[in-house]
Amino acid sequence: MSDLASSLTEEQLNILKDAALDFALSHGLVVRPPPTPLSKDDPHHATLSTGVINAPVSLFPTPFPKQAFHDAVRIQPLFSQLVHDISEDDAFLKEIMESLSHVDDFVKRLYDLYLIVKKEGIAQPASLGIHRSDYIIHLNPGQDFSEAAIKQVELNTISVSFGSLSSLTGDLHRYLQATTGYFSNKVDLDALPTSESIESIASGLASAHKHYGSKSAKVMMVVQPGERNAFDQRWIEYNLLNKHGIVLIRKTLAEVADHGRLDPTTKALYIGDQEISVAYYRSAYATTDYPTEKARYALYTPEWDGRLLAERSLAIKCPTVAYQLVGAKKVQQVLAAPGQLERFVKDPQSAALLRASFTGLYPLDHTPEGLAAYEAALINSDELVMKPQREGGGNNIYGKDIQVALRTLSAEQRNAYILMDIIRPPITKNVLLRKGELQRADVVSELGVYGIYLHSGKQVVRNDIGGHLLRTKGVESNEGGVAAGFAVIDSLILV
Ligand code: ADP
Ligand code: MG
Ligand code: MG
């Protein structure tokens, strides 16, 4: 395998850096710098920077096994269909979510929302999924790099990000090669697959908007206040307008609560006078997205009110709360148990393809399997990761900390978590560009494949592959979030 990071001189790296920074700033491959809080006690009121910095990126593409990449792409429509089929299995969701609800308030809130809307009668039978299934590659001893297989880390069903910045990072790498030629003989750019994710997410929203059927309605992106990754989102807005002639407005959950209402007859969602065709969440997945939750005695707080209003409405949700629940790590673990995945995926070949991407997943419940996993992890937790039902990075527990956590939690509290085998991918080298600074690093990568899925309530309207994302991080870091500051956006070179 080529080792560009070692073969490039300091001078060449600096030329690449300057070219990369200008490309990033002029093409919107950018993020907002962290805001300056007005006071420590009030972190939600901060001055938003009017300037930008380059999105964290790698300086050149990272080698990735061709077969593994094609496998990940090929199975995406199966995963998107699986999410939908599980979302319709009320009994399956009930069993998992009821047990989690006892030990996880956030899951309980979401599941309550699901129950309220279900009881009331679902106004909008259609649902839009913009998913991303994430993988790390695994190599058996003695195997060649090109023989590595994908292992699924998790399946995200809400607020998947970096679709736009991923495509732009691929463009950046192609530009650097075309203008400097430094990668020649090392990197064959024909093997650099383009990711259409900057287009596909807008295209998914456009399909849902058309399905909704009102020309004057607008798409609503539900955003976090003070979002730093706003430019990844803006490209979706611009593509939706330029390629599909559809306007997208940005609202926070609190704004939905303050300015939203339902038409009493049709349940159409209005924000002010504006009818909303699609409610697309780039928020609403973390406990911090419902901050006034801390008002302990209020039954419903503005953010939960906003979420409930949208959920009850005629607007097509991306995702529905049901899709969001299906994305729980507990669901992933249950599916990995013998025969469970096969309940939903009847075609044996398809089921085998999906199952081949699973790594070891273990419950921490009262079943014999759960107790055995608990006992084993108390003795050796080096090859495990312990996960709660949370999204957005930074929530997992690793190594010896797992033993500490297991000793601290009650048998009931353990139910809120699952255990998973650590996937240890082969290490490669790259140069990371963060806040204008270069850093040579031994790195590992995580591939994400986007899926665009629209169901009318009666039939599948579309189920497409939506491009991909490669995130690369230094080997020393357990977690891989770009927004969380651990990883950079990369592109891949197939080998
Ligand atoms: P989140 O929903 O918060 O993104 P993930 O399951 O993706 O949760 O875990 C966050 C990060 O932790 C991943 O991006 C990856 O870097 C690391 N990670 C999670 N599970 C594994 C695993 N089984 N093996 C290796 N690393 C993992
Ligand atoms: Mg996730
Ligand atoms: Mg993740």
Token output for 115: 């129950």
CB 94 within 8 A of CB 87: no
Residue 464 half-sphere exposure toward CB, CA atoms < 13 A = 17
Is residue 176 within a helix (H) or strand (E), and if so which, with residue range?
A: helix 163-180
Enumerate the β-bridge partners of residue 190. Answer: none
Q: How many other β-carbons are positioned within 10 Å of the β-carbon of residue 52?
A: 17
CA 336 to centroid of ligand 1, rounded, Å: 17
Q: Which atom of ligand 1 is nearest to the CA of 422?
A: 24
Q: Pick the residue whose CA is nearest to atom 9 on ligand 1.
A: 393
Three-class SS state of 468: strand
CA dist 217 and 121 (Å) reads: 23
The predicted complex's ipTM stands at 0.99
Enumerate the β-bridge partners of residue 488. Answer: 472
Q: Pick the residue whose CA is nearest to atom 4 on ligand 1.
A: 393
CA dist 171 and 154 (Å) reads: 27
Burial class (CB in 10 A: 0-12, 13-18, 19+), 272: exposed
Q: Which of 382, 386, 390, 396 to mutate to test the pocket of ligand 1 (most atoms within 8 A of CB)?
A: 396
CB burial readout 410-443, b (16+ within 10 A) else e: eeeebbbbbbbeebebeebbbbbbeeeebeebeb
Rg (CA), the chain: 22
| 434-440: Cβ within 8 A, 24+ apart | 434/54, 434/56, 434/488, 435/33, 435/53, 435/54, 435/56, 436/17, 436/21, 436/53, 436/54, 438/13, 438/14, 438/17, 438/59, 439/474, 440/5
Token output for 125: 């039978």
In this predicted structure, what is the pLDDT of residue 63? 93
Q: Which atom of ligand 1 is nearest to the CA of 134?
A: 7
CA 287 to centroid of ligand 1, rounded, Å: 18
Which ligand has its closest atom nearest to the C-alpha of 156?
Answer: 2
CB 461 within 8 A of CB 454: yes
In this predicted structure, what is the pLDDT of residue 296? 46
* Ramachandran angles phi, psi of 470, nearest 5°: -120, 125
CA dist 488 and 476 (Å) reads: 14
Q: Which atom of ligand 1 is nearest to the CA of 480?
A: 16
Q: Pick the residue whose CA is nearest to atom 22 on ligand 1.
A: 422
Token output for 231: 């430019």
Q: Which residues line ligand 1 (CB under 6 A)?
A: 134, 136, 153-154, 385, 387, 390-393, 395-396, 420-423, 446, 479-480
Count of residues in the chain: 495
In this predicted structure, what is the pLDDT of residue 465? 98
In this predicted structure, what is the pLDDT of residue 1? 46
CB 479 within 8 A of CB 466: no
CA dist 7 and 182 (Å) reads: 10
Question: What letter does residue 292 receive in the DSSP assignment?
Answer: G
DSSP string, 28-56: T-EEPPPPEES-TT-TTSEEPPSS-EEPP
Print pLDDT tens along the chain (495 aa): 457 888 899 999 999 999 999 999 999 999 999 877 666 666 556 677 889 999 999 999 999 999 999 999 999 999 999 999 999 999 999 999 999 999 999 999 999 999 999 999 999 999 999 999 999 999 999 999 999 999 999 999 999 999 999 999 999 999 999 999 888 666 676 788 999 999 999 999 999 999 999 999 999 999 999 899 999 999 999 999 999 999 999 999 999 999 999 999 999 999 999 999 999 999 999 999 988 655 444 556 789 999 999 999 999 999 999 999 999 999 999 999 999 999 999 999 999 999 999 999 999 999 999 999 999 999 999 999 999 999 999 999 999 999 999 999 999 999 999 999 999 999 999 999 999 999 999 999 999 999 999 999 999 999 999 999 999 999 988 776 676 667 999 999 999
Residues carrying an active site annotation: 132, 154, 156, 161, 329, 387, 391-392, 471
